[in-house]
Each structure stands twice: as structure tokens, then as C-alpha cells.
Amino acid sequence: MDQGMKIVAVNIEGNGTFAQDVPALAETIKASGAELVLLPGNSRAKRSAAAAAMRAGAEIDTNVVDLELVDGKPVARRWVYRQRIFTTFSRAARPWVIVTDPSLFGEICAKVGAEAVPFAAASGATRTTVNGVENAGTGGESTIKPDAQLLFVAGAGWTKKQADGALHFDEAAETITGFLGRSGASLGSSKSLVDMPEAAAAFKFMSHMNQVGQTGSTPRHAKGLSTCCHGEEPHVVGWRFVNERRAVNLDANCGWAQGKADVVYVADAFAVMKKVNELLG
């Protein structure tokens, strides 16, 4: 760490209102006298960081995944353009507020030797009253679990005609939800499946929030299992941070088999997942 540069870390956690957090954070930035101010990229910090930085006369950058001092100059890194390009950049303006990936906040603070600064929201009067916090959704169990070890992705193949020439939407839905319940996995989906209106009634547990790939999210689970997805680029672009990739597909020449998965099971996903559910009890 450059001894001439003051770097502080402000760990904002829990719940708070925009009206209370902005002035408190702006005052914290100014009072710290720091050239670099690090914040975790959780929902509370992101909600107020930009407005607070403006009030404090600071520059701000978000989604930073790495920070280091090169010849006494802070250099930050982050992904852009749907995480296809990894950029390295710096700013001359001070103070500079850097909002990191929340999972990397502690690691980055330790790397640059940031000094922890306490944060307390203003307690003044506000027109907003928090009566409680309610989980978003339809009231059912969430299928999106960022902390799960396994990402299970379902593709449009679950809605195609099976060996008997018939559609089995309800059976497919039961098999998928059964596996999610037994394994604790997080659910992903291809765009083609969530866009399919005829399957909507059976797949009520799935929405565009589950979409993974070029037009969806880029999850970071330790393992991934794809079923009934063809494995071409629009599917796998969202899997770049999944460490171990496996796929089940009837087509031995699908995209997954072209070096995009560690293991490919050429088999019927209905039969495979039904057997897996039996083994899981």
C-alpha cells in the first residue's frame, strides 16, 4: 500500500432508506478524508452510493472485481459488455468511490490495506416508514438460489414430444421441481423455454428471472447441469463462471458435446432425472 494514499472501507449492511443513507454516506466520505472509498456492491449500498458520491464531490465506479496499486496509482478492473470484455482503468479524480462485487469486498479491502470506517444512517425525520421487509415473488419457494452449489438448467426439450409421440408438460414440471426440492439446486432456463406460452401453465415456477445465457444472467455456481438445452453459444455464454459443466442431451452432436461441457450424457433427460430423483429419495 502507498503510505501517502488513504483508503477506507465502508461496509454498509442491512436495511435502510435512500433518504437516510445518502446524507449519512456523503458525510462519511467527506469526513474520512480518504482518496479511495470502497463500498460493497449489495442492494443497499448501490441504491445510495451514486447520490452520496455526487453530494460528496466524488467520482464513482461500480461492479469492480479487482483493485491494486501500481506505482502508487490505483488501478481497477471490471467486466463490461455482458461480461465479454475485461477492462483495466484508473481515475485521477479524488475522492474516488469504488463499489466492488459484494463477494469480493473483503478480499479487495485486505489486498489494498483499506482502513475500516463505521457507517451509521441518519436518524432524522423522513417521509418513508419501513414497516417490514417482504420477500418478492408469488409467495412460493424461490427457485433462484445464488448460494447453491449446483445450477440446474432446463431447456425447451422438456416441452417436445417424447418417445410415445405425446407431450408431457406436467410430468416434466414435476420431475424438475422434484429434483430442485431434493438437491437444493438453483434453477436456470433457456430463453426458448420461458418464452413458450403453451408451457406456461405447467412451468409456473419459472420466469424470465431464471433465464441464463446471452440474453439472461451469468451465474457463478460451482457446478452446472444442463438438460434438454442444445448447448450452442446463446446457452453457454452464461456458464463462463461455472466451474464444472455437465449436460444431458439425446443429440451426440449438440453444442455441449463440442468441448463446451466437461461431461455429456447422451440420454433421455426424462429417464435420467427420474432415476436421479429416485436415488435422492
Question: Would 35 be classed as within a structural domain?
Answer: yes
Domain with 255 in it: 150-280
**Are residues 159 and 107 part of one domain?**
no
**Are residues 256 and 172 part of one domain?**
yes
CA distances 21 to 93, 121, 234, Å, are 23, 5, 39
Question: Would 34 be classed as within a structural domain?
Answer: yes
Q: At what angle do helices 18-32 and 43-56 cross, to 10 degrees?
A: 60
Number of Cβ atoms within 10 Å of the Cβ of 207: 16
**Are residues 268 and 163 part of one domain?**
yes
**Are residues 274 and 156 part of one domain?**
yes
**Cα(21)–Cα(255) distance, rounded to whole angstroms?**
48
User: Nearest 5°: CA angle at 191, between 155 and 158?
Assistant: 20
**Cα(213)–Cα(152) distance, rounded to whole angstroms?**
13
**Are residues 83 and 164 part of one domain?**
no
DSSP 3-state assignment of 95? coil
**Are residues 207 and 99 part of one domain?**
no
Return the C-alpha torsion angle 247, 220, 85, 245, nearest 10: -20
DSSP 3-state assignment of 193? helix
**Cα(177)–Cα(272) distance, rounded to whole angstroms?**
14
Sequence-separated (6 or more) residues with CB below 8 Å from residue 51: 18, 22, 26
> Please, are residues 188 and 220 in contact by the beta-carbon 8 Å criterion?
no
Residue 262: exposed, middle, or buried by beta-carbon count in 10 A (0-12, 13-18, 19+)?
middle
DSSP 3-state assignment of 247? strand
Sequence-separated (6 or more) residues with CB below 8 Å from residue 189: 153, 154, 155, 206, 210, 211, 212, 216
Q: What tens-digit pLDDT sequence spans the chain (281 residues)?
A: 445 799 999 999 888 889 889 999 999 999 999 999 999 999 999 999 999 999 999 999 999 999 999 998 999 999 988 778 999 999 999 999 999 998 899 999 999 999 999 998 766 656 667 777 665 544 456 899 988 999 999 999 999 998 899 999 999 999 999 999 999 999 999 998 999 888 888 999 998 999 998 888 889 999 999 999 988 888 888 888 899 999 999 999 999 998 899 999 999 999 999 999 999 98
Closest CA relative to residue 16, chosen from 160, 144, 122:
122
CATH number of the domain enclosing 33: 3.40.50.620
The strand pairing partners of 88, in sequence order, are 77
Specify the length of the chain in residues.
281
Question: Would 131 be classed as within a structural domain?
Answer: no
Tally of structural domains, the chain: 2
